[in-house]
């Protein structure tokens, strides 16, 4: 029909027909070549219907976030790879020491000498150590434990909250305390629907700034004896102010990976890979069960008697693996099991062809995709280094790019605020001498800090040390920076300790340690 119409138009008006044909070519070119992913006529994309909405509409309003959090927590508890994906980051970001501060006071900005800034910074680091001894409101965790739990919950649940109440127990030097609050407890009072100024338990002002978090007094759905009184609702919400009313300091922290503007709550880092993780676990369980059953001595009874009935011929007292049957018609399997046969019966063995040789290559391919989504190389995810030194080192370096980014995130969202609050209380109590502390700019100069954590793993420690020494020798790095990367320690403190050890060794007639140390013989000859 179309071709007939085109011929008719061409006979009456060739120019009109030419314009129609040109427009048809333009439309086809647009559909097939310009952004093919948006084409609605191509076979590959005809049934692909995407959608886009605000961050909260996509996750919160649709109810998807609650399901994502629940499934993420399940995989963390029950999936080896799901647990490893979280544990690998917590182990390398926080580790066995936690992130500790290195004061970086801006002497020039404060108009003081470098030595004076160094002394104040050392005092601040000592005060941090004192504060960490009694920082947990529940009095059960250290600062390292709090950092580890905060990081894990933020990645598993999507976000976590930390309150900073002032509670001074007997014997405490600091009243500043930390209270970790799971994200599920932050919700709208009365479970009301979201509004313009109240979304997912977070209250906003007209500028979109979060000003309060509404925290339920227990985990949703939890029932505790003795909770509430007659005539009083069990569910109660506390309103936590995000910023101090007088000081303007942040008093409550909300840790989550914010990917979009207007995103009120975070999503679990396992969210993009929940399906392949779950399907991989199902496949693994099926293969494991098939291998276990296949390892049994499995036989089939064959008889020539058409009227014979299959009976249980297992000797009395035998205990083996039992597969579900019907009453006395159970089939018993076991390691080296022996069944007794009747006349005219014979047996045939079954070969289950297990283990499946295609299992490992297939699962490795899945784990590669999971690692790519998490920015964790396969070798680091599985802790299985079987490639060359260069490939293994490349995997470690790539993983540490992620770990260092996570450290920066943890410092920005949490530790820097706590460090600032510790300074505030220490200066108010006279434990740190900070001139003109009331000036907001000077506060920033005073509280500049760098956070040091566990050292980067070294495939070959000797090569790592040689490379660090060359970096310092050529002027591309400092001893303090290399000490932090190699050992996760404060370079200044290492230098001070080394100096004291050298004095002790020289006093006992031993040679000194470290670069530039002299032996007792050289000291004697110099004298």
Tens digits of residue pLDDT in 48-80: 777 777 878 776 666 788 999 999 999 999 999
- DSSP bridge partners of 215: 186, 238
Peptide bond into 36 cis (omega under 30): no
Q: What is the DSSP letter of 243?
A: B
* Range of lowest pLDDT (104-118, 213-227, 269-283, 405-419): 213-227
* Range of lowest pLDDT (9-13, 78-82, 133-137): 9-13
Q: What is the DSSP letter of 44?
A: T
- pLDDT > 80? residue 161: yes
The strand ranges marked E within 85-190 are 100-103, 159-163, 179-182
- pLDDT > 90? residue 157: yes
The answer to whether the CB of 391 falls within 8 A of the CB of 378 is no
pLDDT number for residue 262: 87
* 343 against 65, higher pLDDT: 65
* 225 against 88, higher pLDDT: 88
The answer to whether the CB of 367 falls within 8 A of the CB of 81 is yes
Kind of pairing, strands 331-333 and 345-349?
unpaired
The answer to whether the CB of 117 falls within 8 A of the CB of 110 is yes
The residues, ordered by sequence, that sit 6+ positions from 462 with a Cβ below 8 Å of its Cβ are none
Which range, 26-35, 158-167, 311-320, 518-527, is most confident? 158-167
pLDDT number for residue 322: 46
pTM above 0.95, yes or no: no
pLDDT in tens, 408-441: 999 999 999 999 999 999 999 999 999 999 999 9
Q: How far is CA 354 from CA 140, 292, 293, 296, in A?
A: 48, 9, 9, 11
Q: How far is CA 290 from CA 282, 294, 313, 339, in A?
A: 12, 6, 24, 22
- pLDDT > 60? residue 527: no
The answer to whether the CB of 422 falls within 8 A of the CB of 446 is no
- The whole-number average pLDDT for the span 490-510 is 77
Integer Cα distance of 465 and 265 in angstroms: 43
Name the band, by pLDDT with cuts 50, 70 and 90, for residue 459: low
> How far is it between the farthest Cα atoms of the chain?
117
Percent of the chain with pLDDT over 90: 49
- pLDDT > 90? residue 373: yes
Q: How far is CA 211 from CA 205, 206, 242, 397, 503, in A?
A: 7, 10, 5, 40, 55
- Written as six digits, the tokens of 450 are 């760098």
């Amino acid at each position: 029909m179309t071709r007939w119409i085109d011929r008719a138009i061409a006979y009456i008006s060739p120019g009109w027909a030419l314009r129609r044909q040109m427009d048809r070519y333009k439309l086809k070119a647009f559909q097939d070549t310009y952004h093919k992913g948006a084409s609605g006529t191509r076979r590959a994309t005809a049934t692909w219907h995407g959608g886009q909405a605000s961050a909260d509409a996509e996750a919160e309003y649709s109810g998807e976030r609650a399901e994502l959090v629940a499934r993420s927590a399940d995989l963390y508890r029950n999936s080896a790879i799901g647990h490893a994906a979280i544990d690998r980051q917590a182990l390398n970001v926080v580790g066995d020491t936690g992130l500790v501060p290195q004061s970086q006071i801006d002497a020039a900005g404060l108009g003081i000498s470098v030595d004076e800034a160094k002394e104040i910074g050392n005092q601040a680091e000592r005060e941090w150590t004192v504060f960490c001894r009694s920082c947990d409101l529940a009095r059960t965790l250290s600062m390292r434990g709090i950092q580890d739990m905060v990081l894990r919950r933020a990645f598993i649940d999507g976000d976590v909250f930390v309150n900073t109440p002032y509670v001074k127990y007997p014997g405490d030097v600091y009243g500043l305390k930390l209270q970790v609050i799971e994200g599920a407890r932050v919700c709208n009072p009365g479970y009301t629907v979201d509004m313009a100024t109240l979304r997912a338990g977070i209250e906003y002002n007209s500028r979109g700034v979060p000003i309060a978090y509404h925290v339920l007094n227990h985990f949703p759905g939890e029932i505790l004896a003795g909770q509430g009184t007659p005539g009083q609702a069990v569910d109660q919400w506390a309103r936590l102010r995000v910023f101090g009313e007088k000081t303007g300091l942040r008093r409550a922290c909300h840790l989550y990976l914010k990917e979009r503007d207007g995103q009120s709550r975070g999503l679990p880092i396992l969210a993009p890979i929940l399906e392949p993780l779950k399907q991989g676990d199902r496949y693994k369980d099926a293969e494991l069960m098939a291998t276990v059953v296949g390892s049994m001595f499995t036989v089939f009874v064959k008889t020539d008697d058409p009227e014979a009935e299959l009976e249980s011929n297992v000797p009395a007292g035998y205990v083996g693996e039992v597969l579900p049957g019907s009453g006395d018609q159970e089939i018993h399997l076991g390691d080296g099991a022996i069944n007794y046969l009747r006349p005219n019966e014979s047996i045939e063995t079954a070969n289950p062809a297990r283990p499946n040789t295609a299992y490992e290559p297939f699962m490795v391919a899945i784990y590669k995709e999971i690692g790519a989504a998490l920015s964790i190389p396969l070798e680091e995810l599985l802790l299985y280094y079987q490639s060359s030194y260069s490939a293994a080192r490349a995997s470690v370096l790539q993983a540490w790019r992620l770990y260092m980014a996570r450290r920066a995130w943890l410092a920005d969202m949490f530790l820097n605020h706590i460090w600032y609050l510790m300074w505030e209380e220490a200066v108010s109590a006279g434990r740190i001498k900070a001139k003109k502390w009331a000036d907001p700019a000077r506060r920033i100069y005073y509280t500049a800090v760098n956070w040091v954590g566990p050292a980067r793993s070294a495939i070959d420690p000797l090569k790592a040390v040689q490379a660090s020494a060359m970096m310092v020798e050529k002027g591309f790095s400092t001893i303090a920076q290399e000490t932090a990367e190699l050992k996760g320690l404060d370079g200044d403190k290492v230098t001070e300790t080394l100096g004291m050890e050298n004095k002790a060794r020289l006093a006992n007639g031993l040679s000194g340690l470290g670069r530039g140390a002299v032996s007792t013989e050289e000291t004697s000859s110099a004298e």
